[in-house]
């Protein structure tokens, strides 16, 4: 969940301390040196920021916010090793989901719910250019956020290499891949899904061992990422039953 830190000095100290911050919200009607300092600090650390109405700031935090609110990650993220340890404890081949730049909290929440229901051992998301486990995500996940481990990493390519070194195969959801129903999902694997607009980052896609597509009929070109993830996850579950 997000915790909200308010006020000029508190937010500047938070930025200077290097604390993990999901987003900074600034009153769009205020200008001046303080806002410039906050924006520069956000840019230096690649922290997203938004200009919003005062009413929006007041909804985020009940206390006096002085025109700035920082959303600090309240979720306890785990390490990749923790996810693999859970699979080992259960005596199961690891099943992991890697999400590349998924920005819609509703998609992340839906994927988390499908992953938990399908028996996945955890999800890996990037720290930048992607949504974290926010209150909206947790609400959509309908409880899955409390039970499914999530690792938030600085570099997805390095994460992929770590999984491969541990014996996992990486299967990417890609329109140019083989038919999903012709691929073996029974072994230790990571399912790699791309973001809503950009898909899977090119360097990460190159790291994948297999590419798979979902056969489709009709006039639409692809599924929503959360729907695609559910199909891939249940193909893995079917192979493991």
For the stretch 75-86, pLDDT in tens is 678 999 999 999
- The pLDDT assigned to 80 comes to 96
Overall average pLDDT of the 156-184 stretch: 95
The topology (CATH level 3) of 2-73 is 60s Ribosomal Protein L30; Chain: A; (3.30.1330)
Question: Is 163's pLDDT higher than 70?
Answer: yes
The residues, any chain, with a CB within 8 Å of residue 193's CB and separated by 6 or more, are: 97, 98, 99, 100, 102, 111, 173, 200, 225, 228, 229, 232
Give the C-alpha separation, 227 to 188, whole Å: 22
Question: Is 14's pLDDT higher than 70?
Answer: yes
For the stretch 210-236, pLDDT in tens is 999 998 887 776 788 999 999 999 999
Kindly state the percentage of the chain with pLDDT values over 90. 54
Overall average pLDDT of the 45-53 stretch: 90
- Break the chain into its structural domains and give their ranges: 2-73, 80-240
C-beta of residue 107 within 8 angstroms of C-beta of residue 133: no
Task: Of 111, 90, 122, give the one whose Cα is nearest residue 173.
Answer: 111
For the stretch 107-151, pLDDT in tens is 999 999 999 999 999 999 999 888 888 756 766 787 677 689 999
The pTM for the full model equals 0.72
CATH class of the structural domain 80-240: alpha beta
Question: Is 29's pLDDT higher than 70?
Answer: yes
For the stretch 171-199, pLDDT in tens is 999 988 999 999 999 999 999 999 888 88
- The pLDDT assigned to 63 comes to 60
């Amino acid at each position: 969940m997000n915790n909200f830190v308010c006020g000029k000095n508190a937010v500047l100290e938070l930025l200077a301390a290097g604390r993990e911050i999901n987003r900074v919200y600034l009153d769009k009607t205020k200008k001046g040196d303080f806002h410039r300092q906050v924006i520069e600090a956000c840019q230096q650390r690649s922290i997203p920021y938004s200009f919003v109405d005062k009413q929006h700031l007041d909804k985020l935090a009940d206390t006096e916010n002085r025109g700035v609110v920082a959303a600090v990650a309240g979720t306890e993220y785990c390490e990749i090793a923790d996810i693999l340890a859970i699979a080992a404890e259960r005596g199961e081949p690891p099943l992991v989901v890697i999400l590349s730049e998924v920005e819609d909290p509703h998609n992340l929440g839906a994927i988390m719910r499908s992953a938990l229901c399908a028996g996945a051992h955890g999800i890996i998301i990037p720290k930048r250019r992607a949504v974290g486990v926010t209150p909206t995500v947790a609400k959509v996940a309908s409880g899955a956020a409390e039970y499914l481990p999530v690792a938030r990493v600085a570099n997805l390519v390095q994460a992929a290499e770590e999984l491969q070194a541990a014996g996992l195969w990486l299967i990417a959801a890609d329109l140019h891949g083989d038919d999903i129903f012709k691929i073996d999902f029974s072994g230790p694997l990571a399912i790699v899904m791309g973001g809503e607009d950009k898909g899977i980052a090119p360097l990460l896609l190159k790291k994948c061992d297999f590419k798979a597509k979902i056969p489709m009929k009709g006039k639409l070109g692809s599924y929503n990422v959360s729907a695609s993830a559910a199909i891939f996850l249940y193909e893995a579950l079917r192979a493991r039953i």
